[in-house]
Structure 1
Amino acid sequence: MRPSLLVDVVRAGVRTARSIAVLYRAGLVPVPRLDEAIRSLVTTRRYGPLAGSVRIAARRDPHAVGLVDERGSMTFAQLDLRSNALARAWARRGVRPGTTLAVLCRDHRGLVLTLLAAGKLGVPVLLLNTGFAKPQLTDVVAREKVGVLVYDEEFTDLLGDIVGVDRYLAWTDSGTAEVPLLDDLIADGDDRHLPAPAKPGGFVLLTSGTTGTPKGAPRPKVSPLHSAEFLDRIPLRVGEATYFGAPLFHATGISQFMLSCALGCTVVLRRRFDPEATLRGIAEHRCTALVVVPTMLQRILDLGPEVLAKYDTSSLRVIFVAGSALAPEVGNRAREVFGDVVHNVYGSTEVAVATVATPKDWERAPGTVGRPPLGCRVALYDDEGRRITRPYVTGRVFVGSGLAFQGYTDGGTKDTIDDLIATGDVGHFDADGLLFIDGRDDEMIVSGGENVYPVEVENVLVEHPAVREAAVIGVPDEEFGQRLKAFVVVREGFTVDAETMREHVRDNLARFKVPRDVEFLDALPRNSTGKILRKALQ
């Protein structure tokens, strides 16, 4: 055996051993029952990480509550059996491997049962963003060759230009549906277990689509060992409860949903995010984890001390924040309110998880996205593709992970160097090896020959007590090429002017980073995961 090959084999063995140790700590490896561990691995391999995990949880404790939504609770056994009935009903209607099934649903049991049934049929699921516009949805459905569409009634008007697709309703408020209801298919179905498909169907996630038609990023079957990438730095455990604010169609939501199912946790869902309802749900179900995007966390904090004090959230051990940048000011406020529970997660639709900042990381360096968990690699490169190893030097961020995608559905891919995939961001490491994201590589503003990344200025602006949120863009300037323009949302009860904002930035950053223009808005335009729609600000 070649020495290099031997080294690779040894490294792979060490990673596997460490992964198993992480899964054991989380309660996912039942050592006293080796036969049960093997059976679980086989089930997950045959049915995929979601349908397989629910089947395992139903066998382990059929009476355990697997899901809570606005219609009540469902046990893991009910989820398993009802998804069997739905899968058999669809099979009779011609849904089979090779069919692409798309879902346009908010977070509720209809979406979950759809995902489970599709997994049992070996059918890939395209997760559509509920915030997309009509042209985007029409283009994506046509490009991905969707054959079956499951949707909530509220989105009916968005689907008018979609033809040649079988439709099913997952949620209706009118009671006058003109297309088949999932509930009716399940009620009339056969809930016996199905034979495993030839291969699991997997998922197709979509990029945010903030710069055009969103791209499809397939997620094929995932090894249970890849769960260690999260559990290595986030202390989730078997049999607890997780509240989901982040939507399940997003990479953050679906990845944590699958992990919660693998852990046999109760998943608490709500169709629309409401900050006070989130606190109420955490208290009622004694949730140990909360999954949110940064704007959701900010809305919870903005409820104020009186409302926050009404609900007992002492059960929370993990606040999982991902999807967009978490401002230091927001993370620090969350730490003051909830304690050392904030885990700031960085990744993308393409690379999945890249780094995690634990509460200790955040305490040491507010704003950091932390370090790579087990099985992940992160490196920085300059524009010529040379590796950057010195601290505090900004470069393009590249990530390697067992969960990374293998290319878009249209055949395209991301830039790669040394088998690592570009995230599209730029960042730097500090002297302790903690990663900081400085911004998108296509958002850099060159003003008078100086490079400025908006996020640095935005973070300073929101540190002002009168500022709720802020965004910074570059606008044309005859003298400097570009100048900085800030958009500021002021907190209720405060009054500030443009010069106050400029002076605040001038006191904290270099003069060339001070916005020349300041415009005040009632709210910033954001997509469903909280990312600022900068094109809308131009």
Structure 2
Amino acid sequence: MNFARLIDESCQGAPSSTALIIGDEQISYGELGAQIGCVASSLRRLGVQPGDRLALLMPNSFEYLVSYYALLRVGAVAVPLNPLLREPEVRYILEDCQASGLIFHQEFASIVEALRAHLSSLHHAILVGDEGQAATLTFNDLLQTGDQESFTVDSADQDLATLIYTSGMTGDPKGAMLSHRGLTASAQATIEGFRFKSTDCIIGVLPFAHIFGKNLLVQAALVAGASVVVMARFESTLVVEAIERWKATALSGVPLMLIALSNALEAQPKDISTLRKCMVGGTTVPMEVVRRFEGLFSNCEVVEAYGISENSGIVTLNPLGGGHREHSAGLPLGLNEVRVVDDQGQDVPQGLPGEIAIRGPQLLLAYWGMPEATAGAVRDGWLFTGDIGYLDEDGYLFLIDRKKDIIITSGYNVYPKEVENVLYGHPDVEAAAVIGQPDDARGEWVKAVIVLKEGATVTEDKMKEYCAGQLAAYKTPRLIEFVDDLPRTASGKILKRALRVDSEKPETSNP
């Protein structure tokens, strides 16, 4: 079934209910459905066919959601692009998937001008915003010439719905091919696990181009008939104000966002009593961050989730309202299955770390145009994620780290998360990341990059002393760097590969 039919059902089932809140404007489900229909009919008249790839390059917006679901409705493949990408990065993705069209915000007009000179396959450039030379037509043209048709292509479950390009941390970005079945299973699992109701109001602030931004809360919320407050970018003060103004009940984010929201609420208290649940993921979650957030947002329960692009979103979720297990990413959600395996692909005993492998209906079809990468990652129906974790006796998943983030010093394995959890327990630490510093003799040293809270004056020696009291000597950071901020991805995760660039030159130490 075409996933767009689930959105159609919400629009037809409660046309007067509020679907989207953008600034001061409230858009009903009936209006949303009509706009999707207009854009879909215009795309069909332009010659967009089932299977055609069209990319989206814009911040979170009404136009983004309408364009995305209009593309799915006509059977085309939506290719979300991270708005932080540079022109060569955008060009690589468009060339790789042979995109025939691009719907873009006016702030990216100069990038699109450069792209059109090199991409012969790019037949349609549709501008969101003012007129510009890069556009053959505008998004408003699609709305005005469309006829609000209700026609939806009858896609098969395994038909390609969207291409989500991974970050390319180990080479060129890979396009994860997600099916209509995968999107449907992901939305249904999230609705069940996060207990979505039509009366919920969600803050949609994570980037829609990211799997955690749209495929988790926002997409599930629209299928459930809930309201979504669409925010173009994360600004902690504005998010807190939106929670108060719109009486938001649910939020999703990453640990750094929880830190910023806690700071904002402390600085300027608001009535945030309606916020009941917050899903946090994207990376391992320090418990000190969770405890502080729940202490300030006193009616809100924070639950950890584990999800990846290749699984159309969520894999596991810590249960809401009972059964929550501290430090855990929870239990498999929906029809997802989880194993923890050794380097030979064999299950490891409970409580012992290994690589996380997953399977289920949400799993990607393949990596676009990369059969070798697909064969390397998916074996016997199981996706080997590259994440390290363990399962307890009740099947709860505990994340340890990314396989490639493990630090090996003098033959010992050090998991950065363990060191980071200790650092977050220090009262002067605002944020921290732990990486390996190359060393000729030991392979790597443990290095901590730390953002201190405003007014903090702790020294490097005192921080090392604090860590040494809680960690084995080989885990204790030998190098500590204090910085004003940490590099982040569009979704707010700490970008460790950018930190490693500054640590590429090996140090020479005495063995």
Q: TM-score, normalised by structure 2?
A: 0.89
The aligned residue for residue 134 of structure 1 is: 87
On the 8 A contact 1:119/1:201 being kept in 2, the answer is no
Identify the match of residue 65 of structure 1 among 7, 18, 34.
Answer: 18
The aligned residue for residue 524 of structure 1 is: 486
On the 8 A contact 1:400/1:421 being kept in 2, the answer is yes
Query: Does residue 194 of structure 2 align to residue 241 of structure 1?
Result: no
On the 8 A contact 1:210/1:533 being kept in 2, the answer is no
- Trace 1:463-482 onto structure 2 (pairs within 5 A): 463-482=425-444
One-letter amino acid of the structure 2 residue matched with residue 241 of structure 1: C
The aligned residue for residue 508 of structure 2 is: none
Instruction: Compare 318-327 and 262-271 and name the one that shifted more.
Output: 318-327
The aligned residue for residue 7 of structure 2 is: 54
On the 8 A contact 1:233/1:358 being kept in 2, the answer is yes
The aligned residue for residue 209 of structure 1 is: 168
Matched residue SS, 1:113: helix
Partners of 2:407 and 2:6 in 1: CA distance: 46
On the 8 A contact 1:385/1:417 being kept in 2, the answer is no
On the 8 A contact 1:244/1:292 being kept in 2, the answer is no
How far is 1:319 from its partner? 0.7
Give a deviation string over 1:218-257, Cα, whole Å, max 9, x none.
Answer: 1111275654422443222234221112111111122222
- Trace 1:337-352 onto structure 2 (pairs within 5 A): 337-339=296-298, 340-351=300-311, 352=313
One-letter amino acid of the structure 2 residue matched with residue 505 of structure 1: C
The aligned residue for residue 451 of structure 1 is: 413
Matched residue SS, 1:436: strand
On the 8 A contact 1:239/1:263 being kept in 2, the answer is no
Unmatched runs of 5 consecutive residues or more in structure 2: 501-511
Query: Does residue 151 of structure 2 align to residue 194 of structure 1?
Result: yes
- C-alpha distance 285-53 of structure 1, shift in aligned 2 (>3 A): farther
- Trace 1:315-354 onto structure 2 (pairs within 5 A): 315-339=274-298, 340-351=300-311, 352-354=313-315
Partners of 1:520 and 1:103 in 2: CA distance: 37
Matched residue SS, 1:437: strand
Partners of 1:300 and 1:137 in 2: CA distance: 31
- C-alpha distance 326-510 of structure 1, shift in aligned 2 (>3 A): same
Give a deviation string over 1:260-294, Cα, whole Å, max 9, x none.
Answer: 11111111101111111112222222222112222
- C-alpha distance 233-196 of structure 1, shift in aligned 2 (>3 A): closer
Give a deviation string over 1:463-498, Cα, whole Å, max 9, x none.
Answer: 211111111111222332211111111111111211
RMSD: 2.2
One-letter amino acid of the structure 1 residue matched with residue 58 of structure 2: C
The aligned residue for residue 29 of structure 2 is: 76
How far is 1:356 from its partner? 0.8
Identify the match of residue 161 of structure 1 among 115, 140, 143.
Answer: 115
Partners of 1:166 and 1:239 in 2: CA distance: 42
On the 8 A contact 1:125/1:201 being kept in 2, the answer is no
Partners of 1:486 and 1:226 in 2: CA distance: 36
Matched residue SS, 1:513: coil
Partners of 2:388 and 2:342 in 1: CA distance: 10
How far is 1:177 from its partner? 6.3
On the 8 A contact 1:97/1:201 being kept in 2, the answer is no
Query: Does residue 221 of structure 2 align to residue 268 of structure 1?
Result: no
- Trace 1:144-155 onto structure 2 (pairs within 5 A): 144-155=97-108
One-letter amino acid of the structure 2 residue matched with residue 318 of structure 1: K
Partners of 2:40 and 2:345 in 1: CA distance: 48
Unmatched runs of 5 consecutive residues or more in structure 1: 1-44
- Trace 1:214-229 onto structure 2 (pairs within 5 A): 214-222=173-181, 224=184, 227-229=187-189
Partners of 1:282 and 1:101 in 2: CA distance: 34
Partners of 2:111 and 2:229 in 1: CA distance: 28
Instruction: Compare 454-463 and 66-75 and name the one that shifted more.
Output: 66-75
How far is 1:71 from its partner? 6.6
Partners of 1:84 and 1:102 in 2: CA distance: 19
Matched residue SS, 1:485: strand
On the 8 A contact 2:191/2:220 being kept in 1, the answer is no
On the 8 A contact 1:101/1:126 being kept in 2, the answer is yes
Partners of 2:353 and 2:162 in 1: CA distance: 34
Work out the percentage of aligned pairs sharing the same amino acid: 28
Query: Does residue 128 of structure 2 align to residue 171 of structure 1?
Result: yes
How far is 1:124 from its partner? 0.7
